[in-house]
Structure 1
């Protein structure tokens, strides 16, 4: 076990995340300008795409990190039969769910039931399809709808807050099923689908367009919230949530409701680009 991996087990995850949550919202100009400037330089952030291209014009670091893009910076594939990428980032893994198990990395997998918080919710995805997208600090951190859907339920699953960088995904067993996360269940034209917002060390804050800030607070037990009958329908490509800092998005689809392209691990993707095909009506 490398030192970086060992450190993941030793860190006080939630305490550090609370400190970072506060620090990234501090409006003290020298502090926020230092943080923003450091990330822009070190990660070569493309500010020309931002609605506000001046990185130092943001109120605090989190406002910069969750920045809105220009209206023409991302376009959805015009074919409504195309499944869209929900985020900018890199493909961690994608493919078939085999007998309820989802591939994480070489030698590592986890179950859909672990990820979603219960066996019944996972049943439709037993032999379905999945896509896991990792967002780095340089990426756009708003998450969009891969296809149109009506929100049925969200499930806040408590857990650790390990890193989800590639080194951790390869070394920490079941990391996505162990981290704090928000599971969003939708009903689409061809059946149900799930968008999972996975938290990570220092970057474990999640907000949605329907509920605002959801994480923190951190959970001590599974929390469910039903939206049945509220008619919260989000169109394909619409913004649905954001990471206040970054992390990972996981999509799940039942068998027969989506065919994913064979994109390799570490392939870069952007919001609105093709991930696969939906059934033709």
Structure 2
């Protein structure tokens, strides 16, 4: 058995995993990691990336750059051009990022779930009555990014960004073990609510949720990083048109994106809980094709 498989077996014990990733001073550890990851010392950087590879399935073969000046630069790396083509069909809404489908389905009178049997309310998630009414009986999907994945996220369709708000909160881990143990976890963590409408007129909402360690979200539309240190105002109007595949921003560590769509969107056939997805592949299709 390899060292990596031994580590994986050790950390897959649920009680131990939850203890190591949640029953720690989460906020302090997150602030420390934010500082540490930006150290531009070759020894610190190289050792950190080597340890990261040991503890995960980190693969840098797709990275645009072969060398990084810091751990942070590795976290937020770009990919080689052309590696994530976005489905050009205008009736298709694509996945905005690489990730793993955590949950998906219908929003039932403003209620959705983080895992089966663990519901939470749309009102508590977005804190915006307009968004709640818009998506009260729509559909949703949760995409979880692990620490080793490509962390940038993109426009899933041609759309206009209308408004961004930040909701301060905690930094719980967002892995399946924590989701089983922490009720309404997504409603407790730091998160942004990005209101948009698609080029075809339908409302569409993107909710990036931060997690333990770096817990910062960079949004190009605001030209700023959103995190626990962000001061008011926490609500920003914007009117920015983006094309499908345009980069919207990035997470500075693994986390989650929750997408809220109209009820007349149908999921692509291969979308299933636990499925790995890549940015650009079909996620939803409008039930009525666009002319």
- Scaled by the length of structure 1, the TM-score of the pair is 0.91
How big is the shift at 1:49?
1.2
Cα deviation digits, residues 116-155 of structure 1 (max 9, x gap): 1133321110000101000011210000111111111111
Secondary structure at 2:61's aligned position in 1?
Answer: helix
* Corresponding residue for residue 182 of structure 2: 172
Q: Distance in 1 between matches of 2:61 and 2:16?
A: 37
How big is the shift at 1:169?
1.1
* Corresponding residue for residue 235 of structure 1: 243
Across the aligned residues of Structure 1 and Structure 2, the Cα RMSD in angstroms comes to 2.0
Q: Which moved more, 1:207-216 or 1:82-91?
A: 207-216
Task: Trace 1:232-271 onto structure 2 (pairs within 5 A).
Answer: 232-256=240-264, 258-261=265-268, 263-271=271-279
Q: Distance in 2 between matches of 1:97 and 1:222?
A: 30
1:198 aligns with 2:206: no
* Corresponding residue for residue 18 of structure 1: 31
Q: Distance in 2 between matches of 1:65 and 1:96?
A: 33
How big is the shift at 1:4?
4.4
Task: Give ranges in structure 1 of 5+ residues lacking alignment.
Answer: none
Task: Give ranges in structure 2 of 5+ residues lacking alignment.
Answer: 1-13
How big is the shift at 1:245?
1.1
Cα deviation digits, residues 73-112 of structure 1 (max 9, x gap): 1111232211101110100011111110011113211111
Cα separation, partners in 2 of 1:113 and 1:8, compared to 1, 3 Å: farther
How many residues matched? Answer: 274
Q: Distance in 2 between matches of 1:40 and 1:9?
A: 22
Cα deviation digits, residues 205-237 of structure 1 (max 9, x gap): 10011223332244688821111xxx4111111
Q: Distance in 1 between matches of 2:116 and 2:109?
A: 18
How big is the shift at 1:3?
5.3
Given that residues 130 and 251 in structure 1 are in contact (C-alpha distance below 8 angstroms), is that contact kept between their aligned partners in structure 2? yes
Given that residues 67 and 140 in structure 1 are in contact (C-alpha distance below 8 angstroms), is that contact kept between their aligned partners in structure 2? yes
Which of 173, 195, 198 aligns to 1:163? It is 173
Given that residues 157 and 219 in structure 1 are in contact (C-alpha distance below 8 angstroms), is that contact kept between their aligned partners in structure 2? no
